[in-house]
Amino acid sequence: MTMEITIMRNILDRNQDKAREVRELLVSKNIMMINLISSPGAGKTTLLERTLETITGRFRAAVIEGDVTTDRDARRLQRFDIPITLINTEGGCHLDSHSISRALDSFNLDELDVIFVENVGNLVCPSHFDLGETFKIAVVSTTEGDDKPAKYPMIFREAKAAILNKIDLIPYTNFSPANFMSDLRSLNSLLPLFEISCTRGDGLEEWRKWLEEQIAGRVRT
């Protein structure tokens, strides 16, 4: 038991050291890096597509795409003609700061304002590993159930904002908005929440406006 704890501490310490280097590099280049975290199937890639439809018209964006084995999500984003680097974890449940550091080497950082990291689908491991990001966004969907804040509190405590996706499907599920909000607010009473349907477009304007304000406050003027 003691050895297991020591190993995990050493892993996290090494990750944190590299995350600090990544963060310092991004600050020096005045780049915002956003870590999108969700369970599989919550709709991160579709959300990223709908976000890039307007963001790329105003800011210089790039994507680090984390996936277990395939390049399917990365290929979906190629139509935006932006820099994309794929990280296949080969079974790993999260990205770490060392893989992010290597991915950054593939970009011309002097030509970027914002980098989106689509993390591996998982609400547990990615919450523990600092990538050097500017902030995290927690993405959940109504089809997963309303108990995600209660079951996975760490990500909702640490996130800069949360997105509740697929609200158009609420009538076809047993999702309780009241239960979800109660659990969420008990963890983080001030966390911005965007209720979105990427298919219908509900809430996207509010999300994009908030995000653009975050980026505009960080990037070069």
Coil, helix or strand at residue 73: helix
Give the mean pLDDT of 161-182.
Answer: 98
Residue 88 or residue 191, greater confidence: 191
Share of the chain above pLDDT 70, in %: 93
pLDDT, mean over the chain = 91
Residue 9: per-residue pLDDT: 59
Q: Are 198 and 43 in contact (CB under 8 A)?
A: yes
Query: Does residue 108 form part of some domain?
Result: yes
- 2-40 tens-digit pLDDT: 444 444 556 667 889 999 999 999 999 999 999 999 999
Query: Does residue 186 form part of some domain?
Result: yes
Query: Does residue 10 form part of some domain?
Result: yes
Give the mean pLDDT of 51-77.
Answer: 92
**Enclosing domain of residue 63:** 2-216
Query: What element of type H or E holds 82?
Result: none
C-alpha torsion sign, points 156, 167, 94, 5: positive
Query: Does residue 31 form part of some domain?
Result: yes
Query: Does residue 221 form part of some domain?
Result: no
Query: Confidence band (pLDDT; 50, 70, 90) for 219?
Result: low
Q: Are 86 and 71 in contact (CB under 8 A)?
A: yes
- 116-149 tens-digit pLDDT: 999 988 888 878 889 999 999 999 999 999 999 9
Query: Which of 211, 216, 217, 187 lies closest to 34, judged by CA?
Result: 211
User: What is the rounded CA–CA span in Å between residue 155 and residue 116?
Assistant: 17
Residue 121: per-residue pLDDT: 82
Which amino acid, one-letter code, is at 56? T
Can you give the CATH number for the domain in which 37 is found? 3.40.50.300
Query: Does residue 169 form part of some domain?
Result: yes
Residue 160: per-residue pLDDT: 97
Number of domains the chain is built from: 1
